[in-house]
Structure 1
Amino acid sequence: MWESFLVDEWHQVVEAMIAAALLYAFVILSVRVSGKRSTSQMNNFDWVVTVAIGSLMASGILLQDVSLFESMAAIGTLLGLQFLLTWVILRWEAMEELVRADPRLLFHDGEFLWSAMRRERVCKQEVLSAIRANGMRDLEEVQSVILETNASLSVLPRPKEEDEPGRRALQDVHGISVDS
């Protein structure tokens, strides 16, 4: 009785193990060929591809009506589309503007930027958590908190007097002027 509860058919378990090993090897090889960006989370599109690859692998491993080749073809197609999209973005600025999210300033010079935080759906506690995670105890230590294009929060410490002129890393952040 317990055997049928745990395993219906042993051959299905063996098939799943073989499919998992083959899909794993295929994904490792495909990611190696398509580049590191395939599994990064540099932007929302990269995240979608990473999650979709996991789902396609699971389908190919566990679902009887999805063949191993179908899963491999779908994974290869996704990686190819991601490669093509990033290739186009690097060569056509209009496409980059269309698909890339801009970093957004959420906290600057001691003030929470509430309208930006509402627009991005980030609460005060998340900003404070990022500040603490960067080893800062006082808001006076922080110049800026930026929501990056990959949804991470960057915390920039208040610059020392001698560091003040260097602001070029902030040039693409929505909500700040480079000379402020």
Structure 2
Amino acid sequence: MTESSDWIIAWSDIGDAALSAALFYILIVALVRMVGKRATAQLNSFDWIINITVGSLAASGILLNSVPALRAIAAIAVIAGLQFALTFFAQRFAWFSNIVKVQPTLLVYHGEYLDEALRETRISKAEVCGAIRQHGLARIEDATWVVLETDGKMTVISDEKADFAGATALANVELPEGRCQGSETG
């Protein structure tokens, strides 16, 4: 057999991959415990990128002979440390949070689609209608607001008596251009 065969390898290579896999598994479980529930909760785009990066580094350390396991472990530890530092500073400093995190986007305002927001987020009206149905509403007009959250889910709010200015849960959601916070008439 040739060296390029995918099926015939030395037993020592199999043992090395198995040992590396066990070490990386223990490392990732320990990192998830240290970083906290955020690492496995609904992921925003930044958390998703971190998890993909850690997975890729672990796979490289397990399967690639050209990447020593300790080098991959060090890279994962640095990524985890950076994620911890980033979330630490984003939680404490609004200016820093605004730099590294995306804001929720308003897609529907008092039963009207916000076409500019739909275009920018590449969300179709059909997807918005699906979210409205999932929240037990039958008509777009029944949705006071639909917000695209940072994790990609849509939140539908149907409190027709509420005004945007008094909706404290919408404090970090930008009001669409041309609408005033004190008025709901648009």
For this structure pair, what is the TM-score category when the shorter chain's length is used for normalisation? 0.7 to 0.9
Task: Give the Cα–Cα distance (whole angstroms) in 2 for the partners of residues 95 and 62 of structure 1.
Answer: 37
Deviation at 1:123, TM superposition (A): 1.6
Deviation at 1:8, TM superposition (A): 2.8
Residue pairs, 1:1-180, within 5 angstroms: 6-156=7-157, 158-159=158-159, 164=162, 167-175=167-175, 177=181, 180=184
Identity, % of aligned pairs? Answer: 38
Question: Which ranges in structure 1 are unaligned for 5 or more consecutive residues?
Answer: none
CA contact (8 A) 1:38 1:79 kept: no
Task: Give the Cα–Cα distance (whole angstroms) in 1 for the partners of residues 72 and 152 of structure 2.
Answer: 29
- Cα shift readout 1:64-90 (whole Å, capped 9, x = no counterpart): 111111111111100100111112222
Deviation at 1:5, TM superposition (A): 5.4
Q: Which amino acid aligns with 1:173?
A: V
Q: Which amino acid aligns with 1:111?
A: E
Deviation at 1:23, TM superposition (A): 0.3
Count of residue correspondences: 175
TM-score, length-scaled by structure 1 = 0.84
Partner-residue secondary structure (3-state), 2:146: strand
Partner-residue secondary structure (3-state), 1:175: coil
CA contact (8 A) 1:168 1:178 kept: no
CA contact (8 A) 1:167 1:178 kept: no
Hey, which of these two has a bigger chunk of helix by percent? Answer: 1
Go from structure 1 to structure 2 and tell me whether the alpha carbon gap of 1:179 and 1:76 turns closer, same or farther (over 3 Å shift). farther
Question: Which ranges in structure 2 are unaligned for 5 or more consecutive residues?
Answer: none
Partner-residue secondary structure (3-state), 2:9: coil
Q: Which amino acid aligns with 1:44?
A: S
Q: Which amino acid aligns with 1:17?
A: A
Partner-residue secondary structure (3-state), 1:146: strand
Task: Give the Cα–Cα distance (whole angstroms) in 2 for the partners of residues 170 and 63 of structure 1.
Answer: 47
CA contact (8 A) 2:46 2:101 kept: no
After the TM superposition, list the runs of 4 or more consecutive aligned residues in structure 1 that deviate by more than 6 angstroms: none
